[in-house]
């Protein structure tokens, strides 16, 4: 395993247990059994390290979905299932940041610097649904942005409740949990081709 991979693994573990705001680069380097200087050879700053942990250790829910492949209902269920797990795992990393306005402001600014933020799953899901609409698998009149916000919002809330009830190490939810969140959206979204 490369030094970068070990640092990412250590950062994910430290941030899961202490929260992203309280995790220090010194503590992460120590957990990876490297010097803090080596950490900075791989990552510009703590914010870049956090983003890499989120992208590489907790991949975004939409990464594996391609418009036109599979069924829209099946794709949305897969997205919802991954999102439920993603939000349950990332919540403890972000909770300490959200509790402190100064840290939240700094986080918001650093996320802008890297062109990302918590809105990305909603934006990406909206783009996926628009692409499916162009293929004729989602209704022309469907509000894809509202559907994306509703599904990701439900996943965020249910992910939090799962974290609250079972902790950060809870197993990923069953597919039936994800399907239950997707089902109410389908009548307003799908054409016959979207099944």
pLDDT tens digits, one per residue of 50-64: 777 777 766 565 567
User: How much is the average pLDDT of 20-43?
Assistant: 87
Q: What is the CATH classification number for the domain harbouring 27?
A: 1.10.10.60
**Same domain for 164 and 119:** yes
| Choice among 57-66, 76-85, 102-111, 182-191 with the minimum mean pLDDT | 57-66
- 47 and 72 together in one domain: no
Average pLDDT over residues 60-79: 85
In this prediction, residue 184 carries a pLDDT of 96
Give the 3-state secondary structure of the chain: CCHHHHHHHHHHHHHHHHCCCCCCHHHHHHHHCCCHHHHHHHCCCHHHHHHHHHHHCCCCCCCCCCCCCCCHHHHHHHHHHHHHHHHHHHHHHHHHHHCCHHHHHHHHHHHHHCCCCCCHHHHHHHHHHHHHHHCCCECCCCCHHHHHHHHHHHHHHHHHHHHHHHCCCCCCCCHHHHHHHHHHHHHHHECHHHC
Per-residue pLDDT band at 146 (split at 50, 70, 90)? very high
- What is residue 51's predicted lDDT score, i.e. its pLDDT? 76
Give the pLDDT confidence score for residue 80 in this predicted structure: 93
| 71 in the same domain as 28 | no
**Is the predicted pLDDT of residue 179 greater than 70, yes or no?**
yes
Domain count, the chain: 2
CATH code for the domain of 100: 1.10.357.10
Does 181 lie in the same domain as 124? yes
Give the least confident one: 31-40, 51-60, 121-130: 51-60
Specify whether 123 is located in the same domain as 188.
Answer: yes
Q: What range does the domain containing 48 cover? A: 3-54
pLDDT at residue 86 above 90? no
Q: Rounded mean pLDDT of 62-87?
A: 88
């Amino acid at each position: 395993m490369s030094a970068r991979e070990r640092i990412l693994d250590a950062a994910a573990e430290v941030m899961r247990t202490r929260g992203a705001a309280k995790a220090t680069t010194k503590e992460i380097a120590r957990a990876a059994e490297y010097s803090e200087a080596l950490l900075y050879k791989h990552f510009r700053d703590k914010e870049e390290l956090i983003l890499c942990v989120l992208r590489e250790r907790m991949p975004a829910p939409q990464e594996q979905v391609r418009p036109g492949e599979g069924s829209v209902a099946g794709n949305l269920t897969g997205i919802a299932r991954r999102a439920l797990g993603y939000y349950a795992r990332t919540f403890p990393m972000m909770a300490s940041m959200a509790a402190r306005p100064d840290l939240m402001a700094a986080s918001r600014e650093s996320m802008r610097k890297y062109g990302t933020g918590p809105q990305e799953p909603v934006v990406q899901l909206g783009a996926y649904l628009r692409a499916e609409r162009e293929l004729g698998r989602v209704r022309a009149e469907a509000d894809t942005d509202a559907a994306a916000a509703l599904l990701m919002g439900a996943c965020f809330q249910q992910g939090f409740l799962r974290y609250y009830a079972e902790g950060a190490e809870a197993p990923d939810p069953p597919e039936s949990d994800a399907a239950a969140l997707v089902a109410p959206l389908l009548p307003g979204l799908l054409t016959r081709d979207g099944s």
